[in-house]
Amino acid sequence: MMKRTPSLSARRSVSERLRVFVFVVLAAGAGRVHADEVYLTPDEAPAAVFPDADRFERSEVTATEELRNEVRARLGKLRPTVWEAKYPVAAAYRGDERLGRAIVVEEVGKHRAITFVVGVDSSGEVAGVAVMAYREPYGGEVRSRRFLAQYKGKSGDDALTPGADVRNLAGATLSARAIGRGVKKAIAVLATVEVPPLHAGHR
């Protein structure tokens, strides 16, 4: 039997290590929130906006250029500050009834990104919003239930502008606007794609 040469073995080992490393980096960077100021993990996020669901089917939407163009067209003058590479999506079910879909998005407040999950029901209205990670020194009240509850029932046709159709937070205007932008972006992405589940999962 021919003995493997060290160079070939080393190359295979390097390749395998490379694949493992790339996987770890991608898993760490996309779909998992920043390690700082984390209030919800990706696993917990869908249940935060669909508390009545008994199972979730998770998948991922890759943000192709075509998707981005369609989302831009839906958003009009609104300009997101973050274009994610992928959107983690979870379809929420209670029994056989599909309640809606939860999607994780990010938008920059004043200087740093806010990561949050938006639940959109089957009629395209917001079922809930929850902040997963908040990183600014001020304006953290956007995480509060009383602020985020304002978005429930809103649709992509609403302005979602603090001070207009949503109450503003004094001292947190930029964070409040980031939430509004992110919610509209989430609605637009989900309206653009029909996400097939990669696998049937359980809560």
Partner 1 sequence: MKVGAWRLAVGCAAVLALAAGGARADERQDRIERLEREIERLREEVEGLKEERAEAPPPAAKGTPGVAGGLTDRVKLGGYGSLRFEHNSADDTHDTFTFRRFVLTTDAAISPELRFYLELEFERFRALELERKVEVEEGGLKVEQEIEGTNESELALEQVWLEWAFTDALRLQAGGLLVPLGRFNINHDDNRWDLPRRSLADRGAPVLPVKSAWNELGVGFAGDVEVGEESKIDYRLYVMNGAIFEPEVEEILQTREPSRDKLELEGKFGVQTGVFGSDVKDDKAVTGRVAFSPALGHEMAGSFYYGRYTPDFLPSEAISAFGLDGLTTWGPFELEGEFLYSDFGDVDDIVTSFARTAVDQAAANPSETNPNFEAEIEFEVDQLAETRYGYWIEPRWRFRPQWLKDSVLGRAFEDPVLTAVLRWEQVWVDGLIQTFEFEAAEVTALEKVDRRLDRFTVGGSYRPVPLVAFQLAYEFTRADSGALSDVTNFLDSGDDEAHAILIGAAFGF
Which positions touch partner 1 (CB under 8 A)?
2, 8, 11-12, 15, 18-19, 22, 28-30, 34-38, 77-79, 81-86, 106, 108, 110-113, 135-137, 140-141, 144-147, 149-150, 161, 163-164, 167-171, 173-174, 177
Residue whose CB is less far from partner 1, 15 or 122: 15
Residue 41 near residue 33 (C-beta atoms within 8 A): yes
Determine the Cα–Cα distance for residues 166 and 168; give it in Å rounded to an integer. 6
DSSP 3-state of 116: strand
CB of 16 to partner 1, least distance (A): 9
Residue whose CB is less far from partner 1, 145 or 202: 145
Place of tokens 């097939």: 196
CB of 58 to partner 1, least distance (A): 19
CB of 202 to partner 1, least distance (A): 29
CB of 97 to partner 1, least distance (A): 27
Residue 117 near residue 40 (C-beta atoms within 8 A): yes
Residue whose CB is less far from partner 1, 155 or 161: 161
Q: How far is CA 4 from the centre of its chain?
A: 46
Residue whose CB is less far from partner 1, 55 or 110: 110
Determine the Cα–Cα distance for residues 145 and 78; give it in Å rounded to an integer. 25
| Tokens matching residue 106 | 């990010």
CB of 166 to partner 1, least distance (A): 9
Residue whose CB is less far from partner 1, 93 or 134: 134
> Which region, left, alpha or beta, applies to residue 132 given φ > 0 means left and ψ of -120 to 50 means alpha?
alpha
